[in-house]
Structure 1
Amino acid sequence: MIILKLISRLPFFVLYRISDFLYFLLRYVVGYRKKVIMKNLRNAFPEKSGQELIQIKNKFYRHLGDVVVESLKTLTISEAELNRRVKLINPEVITTFYDRGQSVIGLSSHQGNWEWMLVSCSSQLPFHIDAVYMQLKNAFFDQLMQQIRGRFGATPIEKQTSFRSMVQQKKISITAMVADQRAQKSQYQYYTTFLNQDTGFYEGPERIAQKLKRPAFIVNMKRVKRGYYTIDFHVIDEPPFNPSPNYITDQFAKLIEKAIRERPAEWLWSHNRWKYKRQTPEMSASVKS
């Protein structure tokens, strides 16, 4: 950890040289998850040529290198420097709820630098932030990520105990969830067309919002230039909720797809997002037999 903190103290221009080296490794040496990335891109953008998809893949590798060094920089970056680099465009959209004494549910995706998204919101918004996460198997990296995410006051809460933590939380809070992960087979899922594919989403965020009567909003991050981002907020639904089934989940899927199509290189294409398919009655019967 000491070595990583020392590296994080390097100036940005040096860290971005490290990122350039990571890009070289990812693209030319190890071909990091190249097959998964290209499969995801082909399925998401069937209208694009092979050359266009390769360009997105290569830009993604470069962006991923930047996310790694920027996240590492979080260990020692000053609050003023972070807030200079990440601007909140319309915080009044959700601070209105804080003024009412209302806790909220914040949904985001792996777009932009999702680690800076959390810490910059922790710094600049009046809410306390509880960040839902899945515990990593490697204890060292789990501790590292908790330290990064909690740098400016957010509290990482493990997914399995998150609902109890929300109920017990006395502060006016944002429960932050990166909600575009692959949903496991055993979990509640809602399927919709997302990036040209039948895709399962967690129903948990919507169920929690409705059960606790908390507004749900989306956090959208956009890269302006290297090392600089903007964040904007959009309320998806609030009590009394839209009666349409799965309205929050469906709107979340549409909004993040729009952002991905506008800035495709900034999403996490290396994640095997579509590993699990929808279980049809025929598939379930085949498994049981």
Structure 2
Amino acid sequence: MQLLVFRIVYPLLWLISKLPFPVFYKVSDAVFFLVYHIIGYRKKVVTENLQLVFPEKPSEEINRIRKKFYHHMCDMFLEMIKSISISNEELKRRFVFTNIEEIHRLRKMNKSIILMCGHYASYEWMNALQLYGINYRGFGIYKKVKNPYFDKLAKDIRGRYDGVLIPTVEATKTITANEKNGIRGVYGMVADQSPKIERAKYWMDFLSIKVPVYTGSEKLAKDLDMAVVYLQVKKLKRGFYEASFVTISDNPKEEPEFKITKTFFEHLEKQIKSSPQFYLWTHKRWKHRFLNTNNKAIVID
């Protein structure tokens, strides 16, 4: 059944990826109409998240942000499909890195890099980094796709740029082995998910709400002496992004506990407050949080 689904869906994805960009974004507009107006995909979750984070904003503004977000989300999903066939030249033109010299500086220090990303703007086209001759192997930490054929497709897309996907459950073991064998790499990690409550080791204020946060990136950096960099991505206009490297620490062993994690969230929070429509509001980031009234952690289903 999984193979049948893949054989039915993949040709459609391939055809969409081949569309010229003006037509391609017309398809995204059609998907937006379906997702937002007809299906209403997670509209309640998005609305509640926005109201929770921005209690001072009137409902009209919340609705405007919500609608802009869904437009962006559909674009980002379609752009992931575009990765199947986009040319190297087009990818590099649409996802520009502004300060690649910072990566070269860290490479001269012979350090691997943990590239901390948020669910903000887009990270789907960050493979363009491999087109800049950075002399690093690129790795992406990801949640394995249940359908093995689509999982292989995701790996093949990354493989076009000499990138490798590492399942989250294998990340620590694989990265540690690479470091011991002298394989230096850039490891992209989307680091703003909500951890399981029983695994929460650190709580902090994120957008004025106290939540548990993952600290795995910081722990790896400290244990293996890896530089930590925040990938600050801005959406300039439809289909065009600009990414900058903001080094959090190139000597993580000397950083106070949790400072790296806290700095990452501070950078991300600043971007969200500036342009909230580009954050992924559909995921339940605040499903675990402390209530101000009784200081107890609660789970929002």
Asked whether the two chains share a fold, i.e. TM above 0.5, the reply is yes
- Structure 1 equivalent of residue 203 of structure 2: 191
- Structure 2 equivalent of residue 39 of structure 1: 48
1:144 counterpart (153, 157, 179): 153
**Are the counterparts in 1 of residues 209 and 290 from structure 2 also a CA contact under 8 Å?**
no
The secondary structure found in structure 2 opposite 1:32 is coil
| Deviation string, structure 1 residues 234-283 (Cα, Å, up to 9, x no partner) | 1111226444220000001111000111111111000111122359xx97
| Deviation string, structure 1 residues 92-148 (Cα, Å, up to 9, x no partner) | 12221112322111100111121112x122332331111111112233433333333
CA distance in 2 between counterparts of 1:78 and 1:156 reads 20
**Are the counterparts in 1 of residues 111 and 184 from structure 2 also a CA contact under 8 Å?**
yes
Q: What amino acid is the match of 2:14?
A: K
Identity of aligned residues (%): 33
**Are the counterparts in 2 of residues 41 and 269 from structure 1 also a CA contact under 8 Å?**
yes
- Structure 1 equivalent of residue 251 of structure 2: 239
Q: What amino acid is the match of 2:101?
A: E
**Are the counterparts in 1 of residues 200 and 214 from structure 2 also a CA contact under 8 Å?**
yes
The secondary structure found in structure 2 opposite 1:98 is helix
- Structure 1 equivalent of residue 128 of structure 2: 120
- Structure 1 equivalent of residue 15 of structure 2: 6
The secondary structure found in structure 2 opposite 1:126 is coil
**Are the counterparts in 2 of residues 112 and 222 from structure 1 also a CA contact under 8 Å?**
yes
- Structure 2 equivalent of residue 287 of structure 1: none
- Structure 1 equivalent of residue 269 of structure 2: 257
CA distance in 1 between counterparts of 2:268 and 2:167 reads 24
CA distance in 2 between counterparts of 1:261 and 1:144 reads 35
- Structure 2 equivalent of residue 222 of structure 1: 234
Cα 1:242/1:13, change in 2 over 3 Å = same
The secondary structure found in structure 1 opposite 2:202 is strand
| Structure 2: runs of 5 or more not aligned | 1-9
Q: Is 2:27 the partner of 1:15?
A: no
- Structure 1 equivalent of residue 189 of structure 2: 177
CA distance in 2 between counterparts of 1:240 and 1:189 reads 18
2:173 counterpart (153, 157, 164): 164
TM-score by length of 1: 0.92
**Are the counterparts in 2 of residues 43 and 196 from structure 1 also a CA contact under 8 Å?**
no
Shift, 1:233, TM fit: 0.6
The secondary structure found in structure 1 opposite 2:68 is helix
**Are the counterparts in 2 of residues 110 and 268 from structure 1 also a CA contact under 8 Å?**
yes
The secondary structure found in structure 2 opposite 1:97 is helix
Q: What amino acid is the match of 1:120?
A: A
- Structure 2 equivalent of residue 100 of structure 1: 109
CA distance in 1 between counterparts of 2:109 and 2:256 reads 26
Structural RMSD (CA): 2.0
Cα 1:3/1:21, change in 2 over 3 Å = closer
TM-score by length of 2: 0.88
| Structure 1: runs of 5 or more not aligned | 285-289
The secondary structure found in structure 2 opposite 1:192 is strand
- Structure 2 equivalent of residue 276 of structure 1: 288
Question: Number of matched residues?
Answer: 282
Name which of structure 1's ranges 130-139 and 145-154 shifts more when overlaid on structure 2: 145-154
**Are the counterparts in 1 of residues 141 and 167 from structure 2 also a CA contact under 8 Å?**
yes
